[in-house]
Each structure stands twice: as C-alpha cells, then as structure tokens.
Chains A and B, each alone.
Chain A
Amino acid sequence: MTGGVLAWIASRWSSSVCRWISLVAMIINFVIVIVLWIESFSFMEQTGSPWLIKFTEPWVPSFGIDFSFALDGLSLLMLVLTFFLGILAVLTSWKEIQYKTGFFHFNLLWVIAGITGVFLTVDLFMFYFFWEVMLIPMYFLIGIWGHENRTYAAYKFFIFTQASGLLMLLAILGLYFIHGNQTGTYTFDYFQLLNTPLSLKVARWLMLGFLAAFIVKLPVVPFHTWLPDAHTEAPTAGSLILAGLLLKTGAYGLLRFVVPLFPEAAVEIAPWAMLLGVVGIIYGAILAFAQTDLKRLVAYTSVSHMGFVMLGVFAFNELALQGVVMQMITHGISTGALFILAGSLYERIHTRDITTMGGFWAKVPFMGTVALVFVLASLGLPGLGNFVAEFLTLIGAWQSNPILTVFATLGLVAATVYSLRIMQKVFLGPELINKILPDFSVREKIIMVPLVVAIIWLGLFPQPVLNTTKKVIEQVQINVEFLIEAKASHTSDHLDKHQGIKSEGGAYE
C-alpha cells in the first residue's frame, strides 16, 4: 500500500491533473482500508490474535532491520482516519493552492505515506524511519504554502520534532543492544523486543527517550509550543493533517510502544503523566479562550483535547484506553473540520481575527450550521463523537485517579466556554464586515457533509470502532495488569537478573 503511495508520487510533478491523481489515489487507498475493516469483523471472530495481517521482508539483515508491516485493529482504524482526512486534504486545497501545485501534492502524499508507514510498521528502525519521513514534506508544506510567519513556524516544528525523534532513536538503539546482548539476536523486530527483560532503571531511561518523541508530537504541555505556530501558519490542508494525523502518531506511539515495551516504567510514571495530561487540558482550554486568531484558538483546543489522550493512556484500564482511541478519531474529525472552516473563512474574508468577524449566520447559514455541529462536538455534547471519547476516558481515569479526573472534568467546562465563544464571535453578534459572503460551494459541501455524518455516527454508534480495537486494548491492559500483580511476587528474581546487566553496562560509564 505504501509502495503504491510512493510509486505514483513521481508522476506528480508535471501536470496540473495532479489534483485528480492524488484524489483518486487517496480514494483507492480509502476503499482498500474500508474493505479491510469490514473483513476484519469476521476475521476477528475466527482467530484469537489481534494481528490481522503481517508482511515481512528483510531490508538490512546485517543490522537486523526488516521491512515489516503488520496490521491490527488500532492501526486499521488509524489508516481509515488517515485516508479519510487525506481525501479531504486534497479537496480543501483544490482552490487554496494555486502556486506550485504539483510540488504541493507531492509533499502532501509523502506526508500521508510517512504517516501510513508509522501506523503500519512493526520494526522499530522502520518506525523511526517513517517518523522522520513524514517531517520533511510537512516542513515544506508549512514553509512554502503557509501564512505570513511561515518560515519561523516551519523551523520550530521541524527542530522540535527532530530533536525529540533523535532521543527516541537513541532509546531504540539502547533497546536493540540490550536485547542483542541478552539473546544474541540483534533485531529491531517489535515482537521480539517486546519480551526484552529490562531492569527498572534502564527501562526508565529508554522509556523517557520514546516518551520524549511522543509527547512532543502529541503535544503535552511543556513541549507544546511548536503546535500553535505550526497550525496557525500551515495552509488548511497542512493544519488538517497536522491536527488530524500527526498528533495521532504521538498517541499511537504511546499505545503501541511506550506501554507495551516498558510496562513497569510506564506504571511508575503514570501519575506524573496523568498530571501533565490534566495540566494540558486546563492550560490548553484557558489559552484557547484567550486567542483572537481563529486557527490559533483551534490549535490550543487541540492541546486541551490531547491532554485527555495522555490522561487515558496512563490510566491503564480498558474504558480509558477505548476512550483514547475514540478521542484520537473524533478529535481528528472535529478539529480537522474546524480548521477547514477557519480556512474557508480565510479564503472569503482574508483574516483569521475573530474580533473582526460577527453576524455571519444570516449570510452563510450552511456554514454556520456545520460550525455549530463541530463546536458542540468539541465541547463534548452527547450524541456527537467527542462526548463518547471524553466520557469513556474520564470514567476510566476515575478508577485510577479520582482527584485528577475531577480537574480534567473542569476542562470540559472550560471547553464549553471557548467553543461557544467561537460561535458567538463569528456567527452571532453584530455584523462587523459588510461583504458579500458566499456560502459553501458544492465542493466544500462534499467535504463537510461526510465529516458531519462521521461525527454523528461516531456519537450514536461507537460500537464498531470499539470492537475493532478491543483485542489490542485488552492485550495492552492485560500486560500491565499482569505486571502490577506479578510485581510483588517475583521482584527478587528480577532484581538479580538486572544487577548483572547493570554491572555489565556500568563498566563503560
């Protein structure tokens, strides 16, 4: 699949039909994934394994690097989201991007290819590889087609993510050598590395390396500063992909790598991580309220929403983890939609400043309605997808840490405030601009209607999504629980083993 994505990239350069080519490619991918998804229901009944498909081909055998992909419920859902938003990204840039169109689509598809790779691969080296591959085109997307302050934003985005990515690479290498020393097979294979026995001290360091990459990407509060800049300056399609997909790779990494690979260390750090999550929820909400730039406002709501992901992942129970998956998807849809709205408003009135807007409802009722749906979604109105996600997360988190959950719930109140403020300032109130505003065109309706349908569907019938990831989540949760229980019993046994490793590693320090 990725191969396909890469292959037709070459043809992208020349013609102006590249829009159609990329659109068709996205749709093909989307259809493939949907078919897989439908098939997966029956498949999962038959077998016990959470993995649906595996594919392995050696790449650099001397390092133990394999070109290996595997698909489970989680990655499948993420792929559905990826290609869904991918189609929309192509559609939104249909008119916005008039300059160097070919190169734009080239970059867009590369980003999507990178993200696809991240969601699919089960080789840690390949994971890092794709992790980096998605950065450069994103840099170009922001740096070439962004708004006024684009160069700065692009730099900041690139350097933040690159720095944290390198820390992850170090952690991957550390894991690789520890595993190799113990078992004699040097490999980056996820399934083999899963069973690496690690001392708590080593695991802590390695986990911090992974965590660095993911929480910068997510982003968690002290590391979030790249996000508002990047989101604000990126073109609409760029913001859509950033918010909808890139942030999700961070969450995906937490679920796929941090918790399974280092369960002990993850349990240990959980209270802190949850605290950071809650800080993010509240901080993001407060800052969102203070913004006057529409895109920046939406960007800060992302910070706030991603706080829920952090909270949920480290609550370690099934409900919370299900909530996290839901949150990843619904946030992708609702925030993506808000960015598209901001983008289309910008196309019409050439400003993102909400203090100069007002009273648009009368002129653009369709746009207003759509906006209302997504604003309500982002504040967590029951019946829409986000509610399910946040509700599940909070119930789950309550079981492991009631106090923090209370504070997190406060974030929902703040969300109501900032969300309604968008409606209030932009669509209601007095008219400040006397311009003729065209309502959504057919193309824009084609973009918006599926989004609305998706978010309502997720709100009313979340069960298919929950079923798809059930196996994966159970696996994660069983691991952790097993560990917590087992910890008391064989601590002594473990310690002996690790003393050995430590002294081995210590000789070089």
Chain B
Amino acid sequence: MLMNKLEFINLLPGILLAGASVLVMLVIAFKRNHKLAYMISGFSLLGVFYYLLAYAATKTFSVEPLFIVDGFGTFNTILIVISTLAIVMLSYPYFEQREERKEEYYILLLLATLGAAMLVISKHFVSLFLGLEILSVALYSMIAYLRKRERSDEAGIKYLILAAFSSAFLLFGMALVYSETGSMDFSGIAETIKSKESLSLILLAGFGLMIVGVGFKLGVVPFHMWTPDVYEGAPAPVTAFIATVSKGGMIALLVRFFTQVDGYHYPTLVLIFVVIAITSMFVGNLLALRQNNVKRILAYSSIAHLGYILVAFLAGNESGVEAISFYLTAYFITSIGAFGIITILSDTDRDAERMEDYQGLFWRRPFMAAALTAMLLSLAGIPLTAGFVGKFYLLASGVSTGLWLLVVALAVNSVIGLYYYIKIIAVMFEQPKVEEADKLNPTMYVVSVSTVSILTLLLVWFGIQPQAMIVWIKSLLAGSIMN
C-alpha cells in the first residue's frame, strides 16, 4: 500500500527520526567524528520538535491500521523528543571523555526514541510490539555501552534476558487476546469485549500476561527487580533515558489501551492495578531508604513514582489523563535533571553515585548542589517546584473519583520518600571532608551545565506558573483519548 500525503505528514516525525539514525550510520561509515554525529542527532531532534510544535495535530488522524495521531499521542511524542534532545546534550560531554567508539551511541539513541514515539501513537498490537522491540533492542546495547565497565555489561545482560522474557509474556498475552477477540486493533478488541457481559478466562489470562510485559517495562512491583541494577550499571545519560522516555512511552500506551478497551469496568483488572500501584509505592520507597548509592536511590524512587502515576491512571477520567501528562512532564524534567547532574559530576573512572561524592557539594559547587536540591525537592513534591503541582494534580484526580485508599497511600509514601531525598540534600550541605583521596575530578562542559540550568528553570517555572502548561495539555488532550 502506498502512503498518501496526509499519512506522510502525520508520520513525518517518525520518518525523520529513522532517517536521522540512518544518516548518522552513513556518516560513521564515511568518517568517524563524534561532534558530527552529535550535531546531526541534535539538529534532527530539534527539527522534529519544531515540526511537532508547529504542525501539532489538533485533529485526530489515524493511519490505518497501525497508528493514530491525536493530541495525546502528539503530546507524548513532543515530550519524548524534547527529553531525548536534553539527553543528547548531556551525552556529548559524557562520552567525549570516555569511550573509543562513541558515534554509534547516537544511532541507538535515535532508534530508541523512534521506538518510543511509535509506541505512543500505536493503536494496533503489531505497531505496539514493533515499537517496543525497537526501543528495547536499542536499549540493550546502550546500557552495556561502556564495555570496559563490568557493571555496565552486567546490567546490559540482565536487561536483555529479562526484557526478552517480558516481551515473550507480552506476545503470548496478545496472542490469547487475539484468539478470543479475533482482532489486533485496539478498537476492534474493545468492540468484541463490549458485546460480552464478562471477561472469559482466556481473555483474562491474556490481559494478565500483557500486564506482566507492560509492568516489566514500567518497572513496577513485582516486576521491578531489574531497575536498581540497570540504573546503577548503565551510563548516567542512558539511565536518564530509561527513567524517562522508555517508561513514559509505556505509560502513554497503557493509558491508551486501557481506556479504549475500557478496562475500568472490570473489577479484576482494576484490582490488579490497585495492588501494583500500592505495592510499588511502598516497596520503592521502603527499599530506597536502605540505599547508599544515589543512582539506586533514584531507581527505587522511580518505582515509587510509577506507582503514583498509576493512581491518576486508575482515576480513569479526563483529569486523570491530564494529571498523568503533567506529572510525566514534571517527572521527565526532574529525572533528566537529576541524572544530568550525576553525569556532570562523573569523571572517567566511575559515575558520581556514592553518597560521599556529594558530601559538602553545596560549598564546593553551589550551583550544581542547588540544582540537585531543586530536583530532589521536586521529586519529593515540595511547593515551588513542578513536582509539587504534579503531585497535587495526581491527588486531585484521585480524590475527585474517591480513590481514598490510593490517595492516602500516596500521601503516606510522599512522607517516606521525603526521608531519603532529604538525606541526600543533608549530605550536600554537610561540611566537606578534609581528605580528598577518592574525589572525582569531573570536567565541566558548557552544554551540559546549561542544559541542567534550563531544566532547573523550567522546574521552578512550572512550579510557580503551571497555568500555561495545564492549558496547553488540556487543549491538546481535548477530545482525544477519552472519547
């Protein structure tokens, strides 16, 4: 089937991303140049971002049978692209100091972005699976990209095995759903299910298996085991990518699928998600309390944050989707910012992940410490930051639908979470130690520092003036996903 013009216009972001990765590959074949690869990826992402903003689809347009380009999808694509752009900015200085062959990283990064961007606009099992695999396969090698580091390799293999397993679960689940409904299209499935009065056993098993696959990608309890190890082992910019783009894409897909199928009508499914949400919050936060490695703390905290997002997801109304969108934005800014600071502070030996690396940071590098403090306070949901507005939005959507159990769990967990965020902050404000034996000596780059500054400014801006962002989200989401 040939593509018509309209379809082409709507899928252009994806095509551009794919083209950019091919271009980077060709350039590498011709001549290796880190800066060039970096520039190409940076500019192509910027181009896609501009394209999306300028021609953002206000009307829903579906590319049969695989994709649907609507406000929700566009919003998430924009989020993904801009996050990747920020990560590219952080990656350049990071890899410039390290690996011999650093150019391929950008191919992988662009491919992973492509996968995530396909994921958020897919409305069919095939595009879902393809998007997911493009994302995962690229991630395998990105995680293990620093080959000389043992833990990087270990993390890569761990992720490879578990992700392959989870994909298998997902596929099997899809197969079961298909066998029962005879359709792989989301809306087709929804129609078939609607005609039945209750979920059959096979269908339930199918959804269950799919939840396993999705849950793994999101890193929610009980599928969270990989998160801390992979976060710790992967290079800091890659960790930022996993924490944001990979998880955010999956959340968007989950929201789309679940609302289309109208899973809120089936108590079993809702119950499963309630349990997942609550255990994720508690397990994530409680385990984070015992960690001394900053990357691992952030890993556990991301488990908890996914649990928070599920609260709004379970609210299952328009304000829930808005809340998710806003929270994702805040969470993306914060995570990239936090990992960005880790990236900046890392040197060639290892990443800045130990608590001691941060001791007295405030007196040595006040700006970095202030930025990290802002990020952590935002994760903890303290006012004046975007995280606070996001958390408020989540709570509001939960309260509006009367999910008191979840809302109270969220509030309790915010307090638990506060403890370890404060712990890091407290360390930064301590007196620096006298002996400087194991100190890291990072080189600062203008690009990464300015990226972090922009993120911090955005964070505070959205914390003080969320109105513009909320209106924008509302206008994009209007009439897209819930009907």
Residues of A whose CB lies within 8 Å of any CB of B are 59-63, 128-129, 132-133, 135-136, 139-140, 143-144, 151, 154-155, 158-159, 162-163, 166-167, 169-170, 173-174, 176-177, 505, 507-509
Contact = CB atoms under 8 A, between A and B. Distances in A.
B404 interface: yes
A132 B383 contact: yes
Contacts of A162: 414-415, 418
A133 B383 contact: yes
A144 B373 CA distance: 15
Shortest beta-carbon contacts, A-B, top 10? A508-B402, A166-B411, A163-B415, A173-B399, A132-B383, A129-B383, A60-B467, A62-B470, A177-B400, A177-B399
Given A133-B384, A143-B429, A151-B426, 6 more contacts: A59-B467, A60-B470, A61-B467, A63-B396, A136-B377, A173-B395
Nearest to A205: B404
A143 B426 contact: yes
Contacts of A170: 395, 399, 407-408, 411
B402 A505 contact: yes
Contacts of B392: 169
Interface in B358-394: 377, 382-384, 388, 392
A135 B382 CA distance: 10
A218 B399 CA distance: 27
Nearest to B400: A177
Nearest to B399: A173
A114 to B, nearest CB: 10
A413 B434 CA distance: 53
A59 B480 CA distance: 27
A59 B470 CA distance: 12
A163 B410 CA distance: 11
Interface residues of B, number: 30
Given A62-B474, A132-B383, A140-B429, A508 B403 contact: yes
B419 interface: yes
Nearest to A140: B429
Contacts of A128: 383
Interface of B: 377, 382-384, 388, 392, 395-396, 399-404, 407-408, 411-412, 414-415, 418-419, 422, 426, 429, 466-467, 470-471, 474
A58 to B, nearest CB: 8
Contacts of B426: 143, 151, 154-155
B467 A159 contact: no
A181 to B, nearest CB: 9
A338 to B, nearest CB: 29
B402 A62 contact: no
A132 B378 CA distance: 13
A155 B395 contact: no
10 contacts: A60-B470, A62-B470, A133-B383, A133-B384, A135-B382, A158-B418, A176-B396, A177-B396, A177-B399, A177-B400
A136 B418 CA distance: 11
A509 B404 contact: yes
A154 B419 CA distance: 11
Contacts of A507: 402
Contacts of A59: 467
A62 B471 contact: yes
A164 to B, nearest CB: 9
A169 B414 CA distance: 12
Contacts of A174: 399
Contacts of A163: 412, 415
B404 A60 contact: no
Nearest to B474: A62
A167 B411 contact: yes
A169 B398 CA distance: 13
Nearest to B395: A173
Contacts of B408: 170
B415 A159 contact: yes
A497 B419 CA distance: 43
B111 to A, nearest CB: 38
Contact of A136 (B382, B395, B402, B467): B382
Contacts of B384: 133
B411 A144 contact: no
Contacts of A133: 383-384
A173 B382 CA distance: 17
B467 A155 contact: no
B411 A509 contact: no
Contact of A169 (B404, B411, B419, B471): B411
A162 B422 CA distance: 12
Contacts of B414: 162, 166
B95 to A, nearest CB: 35
Contacts of A144: 429
Contacts of A154: 426
Nearest to A13: B366
Contacts of B388: 132
B422 A158 contact: yes
Contacts of A155: 419, 422, 426
A115 to B, nearest CB: 14
Nearest to B407: A170
Contacts of A167: 411
Contacts of B404: 509
A158 B466 CA distance: 26
Contact of B396 (A159, A173, A505): A173
A60 B399 CA distance: 19
A130 to B, nearest CB: 8
B307 to A, nearest CB: 16
Contacts of B418: 158-159, 162
Contacts of A143: 426, 429
A177 B392 CA distance: 13
A159 B380 CA distance: 12
A173 B474 CA distance: 21
A158 B380 CA distance: 12
B361 to A, nearest CB: 14
A139 B422 CA distance: 10
B416 to A, nearest CB: 9
A132 B418 CA distance: 13
A61 B474 CA distance: 13
Contacts of A177: 396, 399-400
B418 to A, nearest CB: 6
A508 B401 contact: yes
A278 B166 CA distance: 60
A136 B407 CA distance: 24
A140 B395 CA distance: 27
Contacts of B396: 63, 173, 176-177
A283 B147 CA distance: 64
A151 B408 CA distance: 28
A132 B470 contact: no
A176 B467 CA distance: 18
B376 to A, nearest CB: 11
A143 B407 CA distance: 30
Nearest to B473: A62
A117 B474 CA distance: 30
A27 B203 CA distance: 71
A60 B395 CA distance: 16
Contacts of A505: 402
A365 B222 CA distance: 69
Nearest to A144: B429
A480 to B, nearest CB: 28
A309 B384 CA distance: 32
A162 B466 CA distance: 23
Nearest to B396: A173
A154 B422 CA distance: 10
A174 B399 CA distance: 6
B414 to A, nearest CB: 6
A318 B400 CA distance: 38
Contacts of B395: 169-170, 173
A139 B380 CA distance: 15
Contacts of A176: 396, 399
Nearest to B423: A155
B72 to A, nearest CB: 18
A505 B384 CA distance: 32
A163 B392 CA distance: 15
